[in-house]
Structure 1
Amino acid sequence: MTEPYDIVVIGGGNAALCAAITAAEAGARVLILETAPKPYRGGNSRHTRNFRCMHHGPLGPLVESYTEEEYLADLMKVTGGQTNEHLARLAIRTSEECLPWMEEHGVRFQPSLSGTLSLARTNAFFRGGGKSLVNAYYRTAEGLGVDVLYEAAVTHLELEGDRVTRVDYTHEGAAKSLSPKSVVVASGGFQADTDWLARAWGPAAKNFLIRGTPYNRGVVLADLLDQGIAQVGDPTQCHAVAIDGRAPKFDGGIVTRLDCVPFSIVVNKDAQRFYDEGEDVWPKRYAIWGRLVAAQPEQVGYVIIDAKSLNLFMPSVFPPIKADTLAELAGKMGLPADALEQTVAEFNAACGDQSAFHSTELDGVATTGLTPPKTNWARPITEPPFYGYSLRTGVTFTYLGLKVDENAQCSSADQPVSNLWAAGETMAGSILGQGYLAGFGMTIGTVFGRIAGKEAAAHAN
């Protein structure tokens, strides 16, 4: 490459695109290096559906209001307080201005999807999903003169003192280098490197499925951490959800998520329940189930529902296993039939008054005298046919990442790196210590992508 680029953005998803667009609008000459081939561009962003947005009144597709304090309380609940509150509030406050910015840059929204349990007020859904958002941003970036190289894998950033002096990458079979004025790293976590996952989690990680792109292998992250760039987060913490056990090893995407847990019982391979399926509304609790399933024998769980619950959740991409009796269902799912029948009978006996059942909000319809309890949506499983799904741990992205400040700037042990910024999943651990809140990854990527692009351009100029 002979063009004198001001800024190199590493990665091709939402955060990278927000950074590139913002920098280009500030007059910088920008190059995106995207590891994936063009049809697979966009990282995990192409699998998303929405982003979580603060607002003081109706905004775009969002109804009513969603305040900073309520948003923060929701985040603190799922993270158990393990979050940087200053950066969290920055992301939350800035999210309100992001929605009109997104619309100005080609993103279109639609009313919230049904079956996702109370998101119309908190989350703005993309018309056409994440792939449509990614394509809109690439069109906008192209119009601003941003160049993109696909299948361009960054292998090393040369760090000298307080600055990055060289970006090494491979493209079309050749090793190449650039020396831009500013660098933005937006290349995701390390989840697609299952050997790295296994080093963190142990052998159980080999049974995990990777929901998103197979190209997020943490190469740039490892390279920078090895050179002493400040890190944040625990390598065993990640956005992990329970997904259909029939999903592919990589890239199954959001459609492999199962939203039936609140209306079910979930058992392990011994047909024993192990957690409260009705603890909270699904957007605040779906992301704990990946870790729960990971802790079970062989890292697998099984959802059991009956006919009256089948239409209460988003349809699954693979049809459920169906049987006329619980014993037949157990046989089809490889579960001990006697144990499953006993577990269901004990659950049914613990269910009480059903008159307050309400599928889209906490209804307090709970079990009595059962361990673990089911604290909402506890209805007896009695109406044939019966249905089941297998569950596996599906990792979306990892939280070990680059530590950043409010300007999205990275640091070494003793000083800021003057021309290095990070955005998106590769720095999300700066805010997310554990747990996950639906749509918050896109909020982090959008907010910090824009900040990184602005700061990188200011430095380059």
Structure 2
Amino acid sequence: MPDFSRVWDVLVIGGGNAALCAAVTARQAGCSVLLIESAPKAFRGGNSRHTRNMRTMHPEPTSVLTEAYLEDEYWDDLLRVTGGQTDEHLARMTIRLTTDALRFMEASGVRFQPSLSGTLSLSRTNAFFLGGGKALVNAYFALAERLGIDILYDTEAVDLKMDDGFVREVAITHRGFPETVRAKTVVASSGGFQADLDWLEKGWGPAARNFLIRGTPYAKGVVLRNLLDQGVASVGDPTQCHAVAIDGRAPKFDGGIATRLDCVPFSIVVNKDGERFYDEGEDVWPKRYAIWGRLVAQQPDQVGYAIIDAKSEKLFMPSVFPAIKADTVGELAVKLGLDPAKVEATVAEFNAACVPGEFNSTRLDGCRTEGLTPPKTHWARPITEAPFIGYPLRPGITFTYLGVKVDENARVRMDDGRPSANLFASGEIMAGSILGKGYLAGFGMAIGSVFGRIAGREAAKNARN
């Protein structure tokens, strides 16, 4: 049984990448550290265990990244997907510090593999974890244990008792029993509220009940709600979230990245009425995959259906669920539960609008439609070769963007603009400062890694003083 009568230098709330970066950094600075993770040990790591890579600035090729990816291009990519809803100072700082974060990861025992190409188009921008996010989390936890960080699983922070911006103590439940933890400084790295369907429904309405939660079921926003109720400044829109189109057969919670579908750029996507509703070939997939969850969420019953033919079957990573195949478009529609006549008409209209071009699955190409609404601006090829293939789509929520406001030192701000005396934040709980909407593949890990290290460093300084 832990000694709850002691006072730690730093308390870290959370067990994902951002929390672990903070805990390790603070411990390496000489502080005593307690990390509390609400999940059982077998499910530790939050959403980080479902990740694959981190978007990383680099001036030249590395062992796992090709060519160069510089600050201005990285910033331009982020600006486009967020539509300007970002804090440029914090965003550029994050971008620049990803280079150091990559070195920190490697020094912490995280291993990398050559980046993937093809549909993902990430070989130049994203460093992939060998073994995925679970291996990354395990490496950090192993290091934390070697460093002597105290770790409690099945332990949830329920109330950060604040007095004029100062966290006096934290009420927790440890394996179901109430306890109190005292620490000189606190780092909140406990994620968003995406697993709380009641909270999601407040922003999205009844449609939220049809959402699937890709990540951990333990991210219910308990700490976030507690802090906002105590006058911590908020940032981000409660209706904005990282939502991707995933296989509609995925589980309600914790399906992870394996449930994502990357076939959209090479398909047409129809709703339950058999109608297309958006340009499937608007841009390369890493810059557009995160808009498709919201698009599907806006359709009747929050469902969509991707339809391709044999020409495109090998151009993307397949779903973990078997593809639905048929010898004709009408037969496929029936198997998908759609009106065959309507789907046949939609496919015929699309095929007639395709303009011949030089197809290239790895970049923006010349294959487009003409006179079609909505258009398909790239990778548009007639759907004519059997077998015809379909996948059901549902919105898969990864994380929410409503969070607490922080400064460049990861210090949490109060509603009146004052900094908290001893509270810092990192990861999804503060990412709304940088991601107002949209998403770039691997950027969530970039924010968590950079601000986790900053929060750990600054919390350690604060504890020593």
Normalised to the residue count of structure 2, the TM-score between the two structures is 0.98
- Aligned residue type for 1:171: H
Q: Tell me which stretches of 4 or more aligned residues in structure 1 moved more than 6 Å.
A: none
- Of the three residues 19, 22, 37, the one matched with 1:34 is 37
Is the CA contact 1:213–1:251 (under 8 Å) kept in the aligned structure 2? yes
Q: Does 1:220 align with 2:223?
A: yes
Quick one: distance in 2 between partners of 1:200 and 1:137? 35
Structure 1 residue 265: deviation in Å? Answer: 0.2
Selected match of 1:424 from 413, 424, 427: 427
Structure 2 partner of 1:350? 353
Q: 1:286 maps to which residue?
A: 289
Deviations 1:75-109 (A, max 9, x none): 00001111110100010000011111110000000
- The question of 1:441 aligning with 2:444 is answered yes
Q: CA RMSD in A?
A: 0.8
Aligned-partner SS, 1:134: helix
Match of 1:52 in 2: 55
Q: Secondary structure at the match of 1:241?
A: strand
1 CA distance for matches of 2:9 and 2:348? 66
Does the CA-based 8 Å contact 1:238-1:395 persist in structure 2?
yes
The residue that corresponds to 1:144 in the other structure is 147
CA deviation string 1:22-62 (max 9, x = no partner): 00000000000100000000000000000000010013301
Corresponding residue of 1:69: 72
Aligned to 2:397: 395
Q: Secondary structure at the match of 1:220?
A: helix
Number of the residue aligned with 1:185: 188
Q: What does 1:116-127 correspond to in 2, within 5 Å?
A: 116-127=119-130
1:323 matched residue in structure 2: 326
For the 8 Å contact 2:117–2:123, the answer to whether it is kept is no
Q: How does 1:164-179 map to 2 (within 5 A)?
A: 164-179=167-182
Name the CA distance, whole Å, in 1 between partners of 2:207 and 2:68.
42
Asked if the contact 1:115–1:314 (Cα under 8 Å) also holds between the matched residues in 2, the reply is no
Q: Distance in 2 between matches of 1:421 and 1:221?
A: 12
Letter in 2 for 1:362: L
CA contact (8 A) 1:8 1:31 kept: yes
Deviations 1:163-220 (A, max 9, x none): 1001110113321001200000000000000000001110000000000000000000
Return the TM-score normalized by structure 1: 0.99
Task: Name 1:196's counterpart in structure 2.
Answer: 199
Question: Hey, what's the Cα distance between the residues in 1 that align with 2:66 and 2:414?
Answer: 43
CA distance in 1: counterparts of 2:419 and 2:120, whole angstroms: 43
Residue segments in structure 1 that go unaligned for 5+ positions in a row: none
Aligned-partner SS, 2:355 = coil
Which secondary structure state, in structure 1, belongs to the residue aligned with residue 133 of structure 2?
A: helix
Structure 2: which amino acid aligns with 1:134? Answer: V
Aligned counterparts of 1:161 and 1:388: Cα–Cα separation in 2: 56
- The C-alpha deviation readout for 1:114-167, integer Å capped at 9, x for no partner, is 444310000000000000000000011111110100000110000001310011
Q: Quick check: 1:134 aligned with 2:137? A: yes
Q: Measure, in 2, the Cα distance between the counterparts of 1:111 and 1:280.
A: 24
- Residue number among 355, 379, 382 corresponding to 1:380 in the alignment: 382
1:369 aligns with 2:405: no
Offset at residue 337 of structure 1 (A): 0.4
Once the two structures are overlaid, the 10-residue window that deviates more, 29-38 or 58-67, is 58-67
- Equivalent residue number for residue 108 of structure 1: 111
How far apart in 2 are the matches of 1:436 and 1:22?
27
Corresponding residue to 1:153 among 138, 143, 156: 156
- In 2: Cα distance, 1:325 partner to 1:50 partner: 38
| Equivalent position amino acid for 1:142 in 2 | E
SS in 2 for 1:181: strand
The total of aligned residue pairs comes to 460
Does 2:97 align with 1:89?
Answer: no
Shift of 1:281: 0.3
Q: 1:313 aligns with which of 316, 341, 344?
A: 316
> Match of 2:168, SS?
strand
State the secondary structure of the residue aligned to 2:183: coil
Secondary structure, in 3 states, of the residue corresponding to 1:379? coil
3-state secondary structure, aligned to 2:368? coil
Answer yes or no: is the 8 Å Cα contact 1:324–1:385 preserved in 2: yes
